[in-house]
Amino acid sequence: MTELPPAGAWAEDLLDGLNPPQRAAVEYRGPALLVVAGAGSGKTRVLTHRIAGLIRSREAWPSQILAITFTNKAAREMRERVEQLLGGVADGMWISTFHSACVRILRREAERFGFVSSFTIYDSADSRALLKRIIKDREADAYGLTPGGVAAVISKAKNELMDAESFARNANSADPRQALTAEIFSEYSRELNRAHAMDFDDLIAQTVHLFRAFPEVAAVYQRRFRHILVDEYQDTNHAQYALIRELTRPVEPEALARAGIEPRGGETDAQGRIPPASLTVVGDSDQSIYAFRGADIRNIVEFERDFPGASVVLLEQNYRSTQNILSAANAVIENNFDRPQKKLWTAVAGGELITGYTGYSQHDEAQFVADEIERLHGEGFDYRDIAVFYRTNAQTRALEEIFIRSAVPYRVLGGTKFYERAEVKDVLAYLIAVANPFDEYSLRRILNTPKRGIGPATEAQLAAYAAGEGISLREALRHAARLGLGPKLTAAIAGLSALLDEASELAFGKQLPSGGAVPPRPPVEVLQHLLEGSDYLAQLRASRDPQDEARAENVEELVSVARDFGRANPEGTLVDFLTEVSLVAAADELDDESGSVALMTLHTAKGLEFRAVFLTGLEEGLLPHQMSAGEPGGLAEERRLFYVGITRARERLYLTLAMTRAQYGDVDVALPSRFLQEIPAELIAWRQSPAEANGRGGTSSRALNASSRQLGRSPGFARSAVSGGPGGAGSVAFRPEAEPASGGMRDSLQRFREARAGGASWPNTVGSGIRDNGELELAAGDRVRHEDYGEGRVAAVTGVGSKRIAHVDFDGVGRKKLLVKIAPISRI
DNA sequence: TCGAAAGCCATTTTT
DNA sequence: TGGCTTTCGA
């Protein structure tokens, strides 16, 4: 800490420029504060100023602050902003995510529950791989149990602080699937314990269990953290809520005694207790989008009941978006009933209208986005100021294809994550095998990667030997010579074992007999030693498989990640590096310097803001997603997701959709999202409305010409829709029929159409029926009649199945290309 | 023991 | 559609 200004004088500049409720939140002193912060209402500002105020006024040392954020990036930013306000480095402040904070505590206390402090953190893919093996061993797949399904059940249980035992107690043993799930759960837990490993949910749950089992451990943290601040409180689950409750308990004298803590003067109250920490939570129930992950909206709704004496501050003034964007957001969210009344407003009126666009295909939509990004760029928007959001990761494909073609610089956040790639996992497995010798799975993974002739048979022999001797697999490797294997094999095993031992010496240092010590080397050196000793990278480079080149690049990328880590954390150990790598979130990858457009899911977008935002794929079945239809509250959560997306935009908002969407290689007709209708029509300027894209609404010819131009440049569409056809797809014209759809539509869409059958002039609507010509067989020479173009002769049919394109020479309007499945045509 | 081919399967959101 | 597993052949 650098010098502090005199106490009392702190307030002035920290309160400067804050509105009254923001001020109140910064100045509040008391047991508990709930800040209901609408989107863009300056809650980060409130949090950072509040922390800085506490420190500057000397009400708290930095080390007494615990601030929980949703992502590591948010944590980093918050730390920077606090330090900026304080004018110096604030050491000892804990600003981190729930998971990072818990790992820190758990590593410190690991031995109390029998783990090494370098325990492994399993990500969801690791959990699933382990579950898959257990399910296969037990032939539980015969009961329809899938790794993903069981993982979800276990995750849910852990978020409710249930362990395998209590899960088994609550399971209905008459139901074989539940009984089996309980068995799998307990074996899964056993295996994690054996490997000294925890999954994501364990990190939180075990910390809670630790605090409950060891009050003297809890006392240390309860005493230390005097001010606890939690951001995005609406997305906390039960385990996280329980953790906060544990941390905000008063410390009883007995616990102090057991912990051997001698309270300082003024630290305790009349009963000799240390009073509970002051708690500040910030959240917005309208932005709760993680119910599927166990987030419990009641945590925020019932805050005042949970923490008696709590104050509530409402932040409703938005400093981010234009009035038009806010009006749209308000109009949408108002459709969620059963929410506390709250309305965002801004002092800045007007702004540009929201732009709408309906593409003929997802590629047409993507092309519009790409063109519009270039236009914005020409207008002075930096690429980094622009973001494209979508509901599902699968939607990136079309966008990426077009962006590459159009030379739009972009980066995809999340999705197929870097750390989930096989080669990256391989290399990490080497590091984990070094850090945690009990982690058999990592060791098994690298046993024969790269190939050294240690196949499943040898692996089984090693495992059997380890089991027989009661030693770890890692130890068994050191005794390779005793297994009576061939000389080549024995040498390979001994070589790997020696390599790991050398790396371990590098990672942890070494005591010398002389009494001196060799200090540990940074993680990047450990990594490089392993890569050289294992020949892993060299073999990838030497491979003639072109994909291996990309894999080698990824491995090199990991090396540079390790190098960067070393620069940022000169004291960082191998375990620190592995922890950081395990806990990166999608939004953490966002690099503001990169100068490229950000592509991400709506979930990842939470907490971020951009000058211009594209919300894509606004179609029924995608947003709201069809999977959400069956879940209670699913529709409301989808609407909040839409709301979150809208409110990320500062100046420009684009709402786009496509009339057809290819899924699993099949083209489906899409309907505009019902949420689009919730935005007042006068706020949206449709560049091409759903009605126009449909051929309805009187401007169809113009719309179609536009589409022809766009589609002609759309290589993705050309590839997927008219395989091999030169020059792309050309215009794909279709329009809905007046008669009812001939089947194939999903139930939800059916209901949606019926629900809106009354409203006629809404620009977002599609006609009341979608044609499905699925079975219509056409051949060159056939005469057809089209509703708009009249009669014509089929020149050729290209494509297959639902993507068949009829090239028709119309008597009146010339050559047109039509998507047979949905074009309003009939053979005559 | 390995590589290629063929079938199979799944597709919501994530710390 | 493509990613993944299984299977088959060498």
**Structure confidence at residue A516 (pLDDT):** 85
How far is residue A558's CA from residue A421's CA, in Å, rounded to a whole number? 11
| Residue A497 burial (C-beta neighbours within 10 Å; 0-12, 13-18, 19+) | middle
pLDDT (tens digit, 9 = 90+) per residue, A602-652? 998 998 999 999 999 999 888 888 888 777 788 899 999 999 999 999 999
How far is residue A616's CA from residue A676's CA, in Å, rounded to a whole number? 12
Residue position matching structure tokens 């089947």? A743
Picking from A219, A210, A213, the residue whose alpha carbon sits closest to that of residue A255 is A219
Query: Residue A818 CA to C2 C1' — how many Å?
Result: 27
Could you tell me if A36 and A283 are in contact, meaning their C-beta atoms sit under 8 angstroms apart?
yes
Could you tell me if A628 and A401 are in contact, meaning their C-beta atoms sit under 8 angstroms apart?
no
How far is residue A330's CA from residue A339's CA, in Å, rounded to a whole number? 12
Judge whether A648 counts as a catalytic residue. Answer: yes
Catalytic residue among A231, A246, A365, A440: A231
Q: 3-state DSSP call for residue A356?
A: strand
pLDDT (tens digit, 9 = 90+) per residue, A149-192? 888 889 999 999 999 999 999 888 888 888 888 989 999 999 99
pLDDT (tens digit, 9 = 90+) per residue, A12-65? 777 888 899 999 999 999 899 999 999 999 999 999 999 999 998 888 899 999
Q: Could you tell me the pTM of the whole model?
A: 0.81
Picking from A645, A609, A613, A653, the residue whose alpha carbon sits closest to that of residue A40 is A609
Beta strand residue intervals within A266-310, DSSP E: 278-283
pLDDT (tens digit, 9 = 90+) per residue, A349-375? 888 999 999 988 888 899 899 999 999
pLDDT at A765 over 60: no
Question: Which residues, by CB, come closer than 7 Å to strand C?
Answer: A 662, 664-665, 719-720, 723
Q: 3-state DSSP call for residue A661?
A: strand
Query: Residue A462 CA to C10 C1' — how many Å?
Result: 29
Work out if A627's Cβ lies within 7 angstroms of strand B. yes
Q: Which nucleotides of B are covered by protein (CB under 7 A)?
A: 1-3, 10-15
Query: Residue A594 CA to C1 C1' — how many Å?
Result: 31
**Structure confidence at residue A610 (pLDDT):** 95
Average pLDDT, chain A: 82
Length of chain A: 828
Residue % of chain A over a pLDDT of 70: 84
Which pair of structure tokens corresponds to residue A754?
Answer: 């019926």
Picking from A63, A70, A62, A56, the residue whose alpha carbon sits closest to that of residue A27 is A56
pLDDT at A699 over 60: no
pLDDT (tens digit, 9 = 90+) per residue, A778-823? 888 889 887 766 788 988 876 655 556 677 888 877 776 666 766 6
pLDDT at A387 over 70: yes
Query: Residue A550 CA to C9 C1' — how many Å?
Result: 29
Q: pLDDT class for A825, splitting at 50, 70, 90?
A: confident
**Structure confidence at residue A660 (pLDDT):** 85
For residue A205, what are the CA distances in angstroms to A160, A162, A332, A657?
8, 8, 36, 41
DSSP one-letter string for A471-533: --HHHHHHTGGGG---HHHHHHHHHHHHHHHHHHHHHH-EE-TTS-EEPPPPHHHHHHHHHHH
How far is residue A625's CA from residue A731's CA, in Å, rounded to a whole number? 28
Q: For residue A199, give the H/E element and its range.
A: strand A197-199
**Structure confidence at residue A222 (pLDDT):** 94
pLDDT at A742 over 50: no
A344 backbone dihedrals φ, ψ, rounded to 5°: -75, 145
Nucleotide nearest A723, from its CA to each C1': C1
Could you tell me if A44 and A228 are in contact, meaning their C-beta atoms sit under 8 angstroms apart?
no
Judge whether A604 counts as a catalytic residue. Answer: no
pLDDT at A1 over 50: no
Residue position matching structure tokens 């039960």? A238
DSSP 8-state symbol, A119: P
Name the residue with the least CA to C1' distance from nucleotide B12: A392
pLDDT at A759 over 50: no
pLDDT (tens digit, 9 = 90+) per residue, A198-214? 999 999 999 999 999 99
A45 backbone dihedrals φ, ψ, rounded to 5°: -60, -45
List all residues 6 or more positions away from A633 whose beta carbon is below 8 Å from its beta carbon: A291
pLDDT (tens digit, 9 = 90+) per residue, A682-692? 999 999 888 77
Say how far residue A775 (Cα) sits from the centre of its chain.
41
Work out if A389's Cβ lies within 7 angstroms of strand B. no
Q: pLDDT class for A142, splitting at 50, 70, 90?
A: confident
Query: Residue A228 CA to B6 C1' — how many Å?
Result: 57
* Alpha-helical runs (H) found in A195-227: 200-213, 215-224
- Of residues A722 and A405, more confidence is placed in A405
Judge whether A97 counts as a catalytic residue. Answer: no
Judge whether A44 counts as a catalytic residue. Answer: yes
Work out if A664's Cβ lies within 7 angstroms of strand B. yes
Query: Residue A552 CA to B3 C1' — how many Å?
Result: 20
Q: 3-state DSSP call for residue A354?
A: strand
Q: CB A394: neighbour CB atoms within 10 A?
A: 13
DSSP one-letter string for A67-111: EEESSHHHHHHHHHHHHHHHTS--TT-EEEEHHHHHHHHHHHHGG
How far is residue A232's CA from residue A283's CA, in Å, rounded to a whole number? 5
**Structure confidence at residue A680 (pLDDT):** 94
A106 backbone dihedrals φ, ψ, rounded to 5°: -65, -40
pLDDT (tens digit, 9 = 90+) per residue, A208-258? 999 999 999 999 999 999 999 999 999 999 999 999 999 999 998 888 888
As a whole number of Å, the end-to-end CA separation of chain A is 85
Judge whether A43 counts as a catalytic residue. Answer: yes
Judge whether A280 counts as a catalytic residue. Answer: no
Whether a cis peptide bond, with omega within 30° of 0, leads into A570 is no
How far is residue A456's CA from residue A469's CA, in Å, rounded to a whole number? 20
Which pair of structure tokens corresponds to residue A779?
Answer: 């051949």
pLDDT at A749 over 80: no
Q: Which region, left, alpha or beta, applies to residue A287 given φ > 0 means left and ψ of -120 to 50 means alpha?
A: alpha
Which pair of structure tokens corresponds to residue A271?
Answer: 């009963």
Q: pLDDT class for A705, splitting at 50, 70, 90?
A: very low
